[in-house]
Structure 1
Amino acid sequence: MSKSNMMNTYGRFDVIFEKGKGARLFDSKGKEYIDFVSGVAVNCLGHANDKIVKTIKTQAEKLMHISNYYWNQNALDLAEKLCENTDHQKVFFCNSGTESIETALKLSRKYGRTFGTESKNEIIYMDNSFHGRTMGSLSVTGQPKYQENFRPLIGNVKSTKFNDMEDIKGKINDNTCAVIVEPIQGEGGIVCAHKEYLQLLRDLCDKYNALLIFDEVQCGVGRSGKLFAYQKFGVVPDVICMAKALGGGFPIGAVLAKEKAASAFVPGDHGNTFGGNPMGTAIGLCILNELIDGKVIDSVDEKGEYIKSKLVKLQEKYSCIKEIRGMGLLIGMQLNVSTKTVISKCFEKGLLLITAGPDVVRILPPLNVKNKDIDDAFEIIEEVFKEI
């Protein structure tokens, strides 16, 4: 097989995976791995989940795609499920996290023009944030290393310091149409927002009639220990962007919005070809049913604390762990040794982990992970720490 036909856009491990079950993966040579990357917070129910597989088989025999010129019941049911379990009333379906961000940015610009003036089009974003790689989402990503080779980006955006109460007060004004924030910064190092900071953003957005957008692409759909992280912080945004776990491995994204925010869109303002297709929404509904009605979310915090307790014990033994971060099953360990070395050695021993920023190792098991998988994973992590 040739790898030369693929564009050189990823630094991949030299492995080809062929199958998986639960939190375990198997490569083309038969080697077993514990998967604590979960497709970067995507495979919330693990690999080859029986109910997802059954849903795909059943739906494939009916309809996969019909376009948005027509209604489909799966999309209606998934939208209803999302709204019933949140403080929001309207849904737009798309295919990825980046697409959900693009939707939110367009909605905020239209909202500013509809309920303000033509000059109400400025979007504020956070330093050290990550929102995607399309031109719009990249423009509100607060990490210059991702932006520098693709300028000029979209205009009328400006950054503010994450969790800095005074900085945002000096940035927001009547021309602000939106503030976008990750309640838990993922790629930025698993850094949680302060509840008081999110409440200030809510109050300021209310004062200036701007939309508060929560990017929950990574921390949403159960990973925080609630269906959405905003429910952990007790601060309700106007707009929530999601993807990743909503499809459990199948591409689907969505934007949830309050009624007033959503009302800025009218037919023709936004759309896409595949968003809300019968297959994707059937899978999304299956996943929400498992997470909510099947009570998978109810044990996320307990499993997260179990992992953190193991990390604390390791921290007491090995000085290379500086800090333990995160919420639910979105966990990071900040190290004072090379994260690349740790991850590479774990990979060699059959454990998949990834970084979050320059000095944090990210731990993202499936939300239904078993304690046996956690125990086995930490045996490998301790072996690596002993070696380094």
Structure 2
Amino acid sequence: MDVGESLSLWRALEETSSKLTGFVKRACEVLSLDTNVDVLVSLEYIYENPEYQPKICGYYDPTKRLIVVSLPCLMRKDLKDGLAETLAHELIHHCQFTNGRLCSVHISTEEAPKIDRAMPYKNRPHEIEAYAKQKELANTLQGVEGFDDAVNYVKRLAMSEVRLPPISEAIRAQVNNPLLEETAKDIVNLAREDLLSVASEILDIRLCEIEDETARKRFEEQASSYLQKLKEEPVKAILEDIKRDVETFLKWDVEERKVKTLIIDPATEQPHCYLFLDNGIAIGFDLKGSYLPLLPLLLKTKDQTLSLKKLGELSFNLTIEEILQGIFRAGSYEFELKILPQEDMAKNLSNELCEDDTKPRIKKLMSMIFLLSYRSAA
């Protein structure tokens, strides 16, 4: 992991910590506790005591009024219940050090270290009370506004899910790309009064290539109908041509191609996944779901045997442990996994597009259209 990846990871941890802090402060207001408390999400595997691990996934620092929550520890149990119980336990400690009414044991930061040195963990009065009250308080916390949102945020960092749409849906979305209508308008504006004459010349050339008399007659009827439509609704007629050509292009040159790289960008208003194929084409997908990754990610196939069609059948459940290890497996396929600094997103997209200098310009153009102007199908 390089410096850029490390900083991106820290920002995601900081963002998740901020969300949990906001929830805990709201809970303190509901519980009449001191709201001067913060939460820090840690990637270290920590727990209050080895004898009880991993029952409580974190600890409370009374001098800093800080609750530290261990993400790896939480991932070994039910995330929702584990988070509620850990926060409940540490909030009872927060109450004990701030003279709250929720608890009956009150100790000072000077007294606590003496108790810890003098008594076994399970016999300490503040721990006995915390364990006795944590279950009921955990149930209360789950009813406080914002708890489900906090859990979702933690899950997006710990165990995110990526679901790609079927290739047919992706093709339909590309065919309905609003940019295509803008292209049709530009063609009409550029051609102006020459539009009909140019179209007529092209149709005449095609007609001359048809030898079968029946086919020629059918083509003449279709050409006449097309020219009339072009005269009445030029943009609509051109747009239908473009859509048909784009759909044909995608089905013939994309659907069965192999996947080379996936880039996941969660920072946009509508989170995106960009796919780069072995023929140089790139396509953008909207990502939908409750547990999309918080981190920008790059996944590169180790061997280019994964087809775009097969990709839609795979489940991408990305854990923070896999992200840290840099390896992800989906089915029988293995990917190199890397965190992307958000500020380098455009650079990485460009690098993937320009990796193959032999790529025809039209393919680069199509790639840029699909990546930068993509919108979901209605």
TM-score after normalising by structure 2? 0.24
- Greater RCO, CA 8 A, separation 6+: 1
> Larger helix proportion, structure 1 or 2?
2
TM-score after normalising by structure 1? 0.24
